[in-house]
Amino acid sequence: MTSDTPTPETIGFGGLGARLNWLRAGVLGANDGLVSGSGICIGVAAANPTNTPAILTAGVAGLLAGACAMAMGEYVSVSSQRDSEKALIAKERHDLTNTPTEEFDELVSVYQGQGLTESTARLVVKELTAHDPLAAHLRAEYGIHQNELTNPWHAAAASAIAFTTGFVLPLLAMVLIPATLRIPITVAICVIGLYATGWVSAFISNSAKHHPIIRNVLGGSAAMALTWFIGHLFGVVAG
């Protein structure tokens, strides 16, 4: 491998990336479900808040379409990542077979870049590669392991289930609550849900909580306001 070989930072791999991939997909799916469900239901209700069959029909159609789209999107995305991981593993295995000395020196350089002296780095690399050289190189250079690849099926299932869960909340609010309170209560449920998904997203990324929460709540609120305006506009024109 050469000095311009992709690093974990440039290709987006991390030590916990594969383990937390399904959770990330789940949080994003729930967030999208909340916004999509609230937007569709509020848009239809704004045109005619008493037309429960129309709200339910639009909601169920949006739920099925959205869940399928989320699952397929995650599957395609994670499959591409998995293909990249497999390509890196194959390349690393090839390099270890054909240029083991260069690979050893490269891994020494990686640990030197992390602050170890050359002698210590060589000792570390020698001990690590004595058991499983491929795993040692993949972990240090890319943060992946040949037996711990990202799973597209896990991501797809998590995204579809989470989207459905997020979508069902505003949909149930619309069909179970009296017409006069449908829109405000649905908005409140969505805002609370967006707050929660923003907090979980920040927790997963170990970042400050307020920025993701604010982005979530403001973005979701803007979407609901837009769909309400369009639905209200069509309702006024139809009337």
pLDDT digits (tens, 9 = 90+) for 35-85: 999 999 999 999 988 999 999 999 999 999 999 999 998 899 889 888 888
Question: Is position 208 within any domain?
Answer: yes
Quick check: is 129 in a domain? yes
- Residue 151 within a domain: yes
Q: Is 136 left (phi over 0), alpha (psi -120 to 50) or beta?
A: alpha
Mean of pLDDT values over 77-101: 86
12 pLDDT band (50/70/90 cuts)?
very low
The total domain count for the chain is 1
- CB burial of 224-235 (b: ≥16 within 10 Å; e: otherwise) equals beebbeebbeeb
What's the pLDDT band for 21 if we cut at 50, 70, 90? low
Question: 101: which residues sit within 8 A by CB, 6+ positions away?
Answer: none
What pLDDT score does 152 carry?
Answer: 86
Q: Is residue 4 one of the residues assigned to a domain?
A: no
Chain segment 174-222, per-residue pLDDT in tens? 989 998 899 999 999 999 999 998 888 888 777 788 888 898 899 999 9
CA 216 to CA 32: how far, in whole Å?
Answer: 10
Instruction: Compare 48 and 18 and report the one with higher pLDDT.
Output: 48
Q: Where are the alpha helices (DSSP H) in 143-181?
A: 152-176
In a domain, 218, yes or no: yes
Q: Are 178 and 52 in contact (CB under 8 A)?
A: no
Model pLDDT, residue 41: 94
Span 123-141, average pLDDT: 83
- pTM of the predicted model as reported, rounded to 2 decimal places: 0.71
In a domain, 120, yes or no: yes
Using the predicted structure, report yes or no on whether residue 160 has a pLDDT greater than 70. Answer: yes
Residues in the chain: 239
Report how far residue 118's alpha carbon sits from residue 191's, in angstroms, rounded to the nearest whole number.
54
Would residue 8 count as lying in a domain? no
Instruction: Reduce the DSSP state of residue 50 to 3 states and report it.
Output: coil
In a domain, 239, yes or no: no
Domain that holds residue 183: 15-232
Predicted local distance difference test score (pLDDT) of residue 72: 93
What's the confidence (pLDDT) of residue 22?
64
